[in-house]
């Protein structure tokens, strides 16, 4: 008994010494301590009160209600705010947005024009609280240059996971349609993203990966904002889709399928895509298939509002506006069916279709069509991180993860539209908005 008491005392002395050593180390390291009045725990779906978050360099090193604040810590008092992980948008086109003239955007601008203004949209996106984005299609590898400049600290913006060029078949949503066949565009091989046949699409995947693609985006179906006729018809064969996905997997890349039509959605899911983008006309069979395969739905359910209100003013042809009128309502109804069936949902806006920095507007529409506020927030945090494959780095506020943290004055679980106006943004331990 005496020996046990001695061992306990020695253990306590050692523990106290170790704790003192840890405290001494913390005193020598630059620490930021965030006082969070309310903190949304997205992993467990609950709200925590009066939490202390310790940040060192770019990472979270401790979190809890009883965490001791080192004496030399820089204190950020968010005790009257609700604190969340940095938001993630899984479907953006961050390098550009409509400039006011549909034909001028197509025929008078080059990737150089886009590159000159891309940093503006990146900064707006970050200041809107979106610390990470998956960018699904850009011309001329502008997205790769933007990603690298942000990573190098040369430009302010979110962490970008870039797809480079949209891969599409000849005459598809990914091609230029509706114009004279005598128009010639002298692009280097592979630089249009147009590819056909099993070998052709494999080559295009390799070309994109070679030039920096983090994710592969392809057009499984027709689309809305282009001049080909169909909204949802398949535009690759099953064999071509299989080839795109298998080639991407070989190079360690996930695939995102642009797919509006019911048949194309099912083909893409069978091929093994990580996510279906848009999913507007998905049917019951497609919903069941997505659930069975664990395929994420990334549905831009806000866009319809902006397109129908503004795109005629921007000179878009009536055929495009009419396609949106056909798709918009059905997309929202089918999104709700997918939510109710338990399909995995990740947040994606198609920002660039509407102004960058407005990414938070979609929360309202996701909750209107089936998700709870917590579910919508989880779609934009832990679910989105899981889809991209970075759940170990971001998506929740936890020790060891990147210090991507935002805050709003009004609790978004009570009023989700508060996420349209984020007051505090930290990315990688650096405060960009407060």
Q: Bigger pLDDT: 319 or 197? A: 197
Chain mean position to CA 321? 26
By mean pLDDT, which of 14-28, 137-151, 301-315 is the weakest? 14-28
When computed from its CA atoms, the radius of gyration of the chain, rounded to whole angstroms, is 24
> Torsion angle, CA of 112/115/116/121, rounded to 10 degrees?
150
Where does the pLDDT of residue 177 fall: very low under 50, low under 70, confident under 90, or very high at 90 and above? confident
CATH of domain 27-85+397-433: 2.30.40.10
Give pLDDT, residue 13: 38
**With contact defined as beta carbons under 8 Å apart, do 211 and 164 qualify?**
yes
Structure-block tokens of residue 383:
């679910």
pTM of the model: 0.92
Cα three-residue angle 419-424-428, rounded to 5 degrees = 110
pLDDT tens-digit readout, 332-344 = 999 999 999 999 9
Is the pLDDT confidence value at 122 over 90?
Answer: yes
Q: Bigger pLDDT: 78 or 232? A: 78
Give pLDDT, residue 25: 46
Where does the pLDDT of residue 244 fall: very low under 50, low under 70, confident under 90, or very high at 90 and above? very high
Any idea where the domains of the chain sit in the sequence?
27-85+397-433, 87-388
Is the pLDDT confidence value at 258 over 90?
Answer: yes
Residue located via tokens 């992980």: 85
Is the pLDDT confidence value at 155 over 50?
Answer: yes
What does the alpha-carbon distance between residue 26 and residue 62 come to, in Å, rounded to a whole number? 11
Give pLDDT, residue 24: 46
**With contact defined as beta carbons under 8 Å apart, do 206 and 246 qualify?**
no
Q: Do domains 27-85+397-433 and 87-388 have the same CATH topology?
A: no
Average pLDDT over residues 119-139: 97
pLDDT tens-digit readout, 46-103 = 999 999 999 999 999 999 999 999 999 999 999 999 999 999 999 999 999 987 788 8
**Beta-bridge mates of residue 427:** 430
Give pLDDT, residue 340: 98
What does the alpha-carbon distance between residue 57 and residue 76 come to, in Å, rounded to a whole number? 15
Is the pLDDT confidence value at 230 over 90?
Answer: no
CATH of 87-388, one of 2.130.10.10, 3.20.20.140, 3.40.50.2020, 3.40.630.10: 3.20.20.140
Q: Is 105 exposed, middle or buried, given 0-12, 13-18 or 19+ CB atoms closer than 10 A?
A: middle
Buried b (16+ CB within 10 A) or exposed e, 194-233: bbbebebbbebbbbbbeeebbbbbbbbbbbbbbbbebbbe
pLDDT tens-digit readout, 10-58 = 344 334 433 444 444 445 569 999 999 999 999 999 999 999 999 999 9
Contacts (Cβ under 8 Å, ≥6 apart) of 288: 341
**With contact defined as beta carbons under 8 Å apart, do 355 and 97 qualify?**
yes
What does the alpha-carbon distance between residue 173 and residue 207 come to, in Å, rounded to a whole number? 20
Share of the chain above pLDDT 90, in %: 79
Is the pLDDT confidence value at 266 over 50?
Answer: yes
Give pLDDT, residue 28: 55
pLDDT tens-digit readout, 367-415 = 999 999 999 999 999 999 999 999 999 999 999 999 999 999 999 999 9
What is the arrangement of strands in the sheet containing 159-162, beginning at the earlier edge strand?
Answer: 87-92, 130-135, 159-162
Q: Is 101 exposed, middle or buried, given 0-12, 13-18 or 19+ CB atoms closer than 10 A?
A: middle
What does the alpha-carbon distance between residue 55 and residue 42 come to, in Å, rounded to a whole number? 19
Average pLDDT over residues 361-371: 97
Give pLDDT, residue 193: 93
């Amino acid at each position: 008994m005496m020996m046990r008491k001695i061992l306990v005392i020695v253990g306590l002395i050692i523990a106290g010494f170790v704790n003192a050593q840890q405290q001494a180390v913390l005193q020598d390291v630059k620490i930021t301590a965030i006082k969070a009045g309310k903190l949304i725990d997205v992993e467990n779906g609950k709200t925590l009160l009066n939490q202390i978050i310790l940040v060192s360099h770019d990472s979270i090193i401790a979190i809890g209600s009883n965490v001791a604040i080192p004496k030399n810590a820089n204190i950020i008092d968010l005790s009257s705010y609700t604190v969340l992980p940095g938001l993630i948008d899984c479907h953006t086109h961050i390098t550009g947005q409509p400039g006011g003239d549909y034909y001028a955007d197509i025929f008078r601008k080059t990737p150089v024009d886009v590159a000159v203004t891309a940093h503006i949209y990146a900064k707006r996106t970050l200041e809107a609280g979106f610390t990470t984005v998956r960018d699904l299609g850009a011309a001329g590898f502008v997205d790769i240059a933007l990603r690298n400049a942000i990573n190098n600290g040369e430009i302010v913006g979110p962490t970008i996971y870039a797809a480079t060029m949209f891969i599409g078949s000849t005459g598809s949503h990914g091609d230029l349609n509706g114009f004279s066949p005598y128009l010639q565009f002298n692009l280097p091989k592979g630089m249009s993203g147009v590819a056909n046949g099993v070998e052709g699409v494999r080559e295009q995947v390799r070309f994109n990966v070679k030039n920096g693609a983090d994710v592969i985006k392809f057009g499984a179906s027709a689309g809305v904002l282009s001049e080909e006729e169909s909204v949802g018809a398949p535009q690759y064969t099953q064999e071509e889709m299989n080839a795109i996905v298998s080639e991407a997997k070989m190079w360690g890349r996930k695939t995102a399928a642009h797919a509006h039509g019911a048949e194309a959605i099912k083909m893409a899911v069978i091929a093994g895509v990580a996510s279906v983008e848009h999913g507007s006309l998905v049917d019951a069979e497609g919903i069941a298939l997505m659930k069975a395969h664990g395929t994420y739905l990334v549905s831009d359910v806000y866009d319809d509002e902006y397109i129908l209100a503004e795109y005629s003013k921007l000179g878009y042809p009536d055929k495009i506006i009419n396609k949106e009128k056909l798709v918009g309502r059905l997309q929202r109804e089918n999104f709700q069916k997918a939510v109710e069936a338990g399909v995995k949902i990740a947040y994606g806006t198609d920002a660039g279709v509407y102004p960058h920095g407005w990414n938070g507007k979609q929360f309202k529409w996701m909750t209107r069509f089936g998700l709870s506020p917590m579910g919508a927030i989880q779609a934009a945090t832990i679910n989105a991180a899981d889809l991209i494959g970075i759940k170990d780095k971001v998506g929740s506020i936890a020790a060891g993860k990147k210090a991507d943290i935002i805050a709003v004055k009004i609790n978004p679980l009570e009023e989700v539209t508060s996420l349209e106006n984020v007051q505090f943004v930290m990315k990688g331990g650096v405060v960009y908005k407060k």
